[in-house]
Amino acid sequence: MTGFGRAEGALDGWTWAVEARSVNGRNLEVRFRGPNGFDNLERLTKAAAQTRLARGQVTVGVQARRAEGDVSALRVNEAVLARYLALANQLAEEGATPPSADGLLGLRGVLDLEEFVDDPEARAAVETAMAATIEQALDALKVSREREGDQLRPVIEAFVDRIAALTATSAIEAEAQTAAVRDRFARRMAELVPDTPGLQDRIVLEAAALATKADVREELDRLTAHVASARLLLDQPPAGRKLDFLVQEFMREANTLCSKSATTALTAVGLDLKAVIEQLREQVQNVE
């Protein structure tokens, strides 16, 4: 969900640049920073982001600048200039250097910069143009995120394939559990109560009960189904939230598999499975 987009625009003496960037986030969170006086931009930005993105912490910043007023906006305060000129002439008669035009114009109060009166319609037009530029930056951000997703997909697919392979290995190891449970229980019973009448029948019944508790076929079936779901979701973006949930289900089945394991071999496979699922979870955090 990381990405960056930038766009620029200009209208009626205004120039601006928009930068949109995002990092990972469970839900979509949009933060906006913009110029004063353009109050609708934040609302428009959030709406535009929601139509393009599903997850991530998104920050949109607008840097705007208006050109300085030209010389036509300057006004000579003739009353102040006349007073300065009269004083300068008086000093010149006493031997002082006559004043220059640029010197007089540089005196305080001679030049007034007429206050800029903002036209509401013009400002609204600029705001609309800025909003269009924000959409361009968000489009670029989306393209950037999609490019990252294309690079990430093979990584996620490899983890899903690894989970499928470990699930198949678990199924092979699980087939040996019934015999392992029966042999272990038989040895234990023979040590505790040797030569007891009906011992073999008791061993068979108890071993069957223990084997039932250690049956992991249901967990393996669900893991296989989750693998199929994960592969399907990768072809149906946006799938980040659904993959988040699916990873939790993967881990739940792997934990149950380990708790039911009656052999060290199956436990080892279950631990490997949990490690791969955790790696998958870390990568899914980057998926929209």
- What mean pLDDT is predicted for residues 207-220? 69
140 and 161 assigned to the same domain: no
Q: Which residue has the tokens 């991530």?
A: 56
Query: What's the confidence (pLDDT) of residue 96?
Result: 75
220 and 172 assigned to the same domain: yes
189 and 109 assigned to the same domain: no
37 and 123 assigned to the same domain: yes
**Helix 264-284 × helix 120-174 angle, to 10°:** 170
All residues at 6 or more sequence positions from 179 whose CB lies less than 8 Å from its CB, including other chains: none
What is the pLDDT of the chain when averaged over all its residues?
A: 84
How many domains does the chain divide into?
A: 3
77 and 124 assigned to the same domain: no
pLDDT classification of 134: cutoffs 50, 70, 90: very high
* 71, pLDDT greater than 50: no
* 74, pLDDT greater than 70: no
Q: How far apart are CA 42 and CA 80, in angstroms?
A: 46
- What mean pLDDT is predicted for residues 27-38? 92
Q: Which residue has the tokens 């052999």?
A: 263
15 and 106 assigned to the same domain: no
123 compared with 192, residue with greater pLDDT: 123
* 102, pLDDT greater than 80: no
27 and 97 assigned to the same domain: no
Q: How far apart are CA 251 and CA 249, in angstroms?
A: 5
Query: What's the confidence (pLDDT) of residue 140?
Result: 96
- What mean pLDDT is predicted for residues 99-120? 69
Q: What is the pLDDT of residues 139-175, one digit of tens each?
A: 999 999 999 888 889 999 999 999 999 999 998 888 7
* Residue where a domain stops, chosen among 59, 91, 113: 113
* 37, pLDDT greater than 70: yes
Following DSSP, what letter does each residue of the chain receive, concatenated? --EEEEEEEEETTEEEEEEEEEE--SSEEEEEE--TT-TTHHHHHHHHHHHH-SSEEEEEEEEEEEPPP-GGGEEE-HHHHHHHHHHHHHHHHTTPPPPPHHHHHTSTTTEEEPPP---HHHHHHHHHHHHHHHHHHHHHHHHHHHHHHHHHHHHHHHHHHHHHHHHHHHHHHHTTHHHHHHHHHHHHHHHHSTT-TTHHHHHHHHHHHHHHHT--HHHHHHHHHHHHHHHHHTTSS--HHHHHHHHHHHHHHHHHHHHH--SHHHHHHHHHHHHHHHHHHHHHTT--
Q: Which long-range contacts (CB under 8 A, 24 or more apart) does 258-265 make?
A: 260/213, 260/214, 260/215, 260/216, 260/219, 261/177, 261/214, 261/216, 262/177, 262/180, 262/181, 262/184, 262/210, 262/214, 263/173, 263/176, 263/177, 263/180, 265/173, 265/176
Domain of 14: which CATH number? 3.30.230
151 and 249 assigned to the same domain: yes
Whole domain around residue 98: which residue ranges?
A: 71-113
203 and 179 assigned to the same domain: yes
Buried b (16+ CB within 10 A) or exposed e, 241-267: ebbeebbebbbebbebbbebbbbebbb
**Strands across the sheet containing 28-33:** 3-11, 14-23, 56-66, 28-33
Question: Considering the chain, what percentage of its residues have pLDDT values greater than 70?
Answer: 82
Q: What is the pLDDT of residues 218-258, one digit of tens each?
A: 899 999 999 999 999 988 888 888 999 999 999 999 999 99
Domain of 190: which CATH number? 1.20.140
Query: What's the confidence (pLDDT) of residue 70?
Result: 45
16 and 90 assigned to the same domain: no
127 and 244 assigned to the same domain: no
232 and 137 assigned to the same domain: no
pLDDT classification of 184: cutoffs 50, 70, 90: low
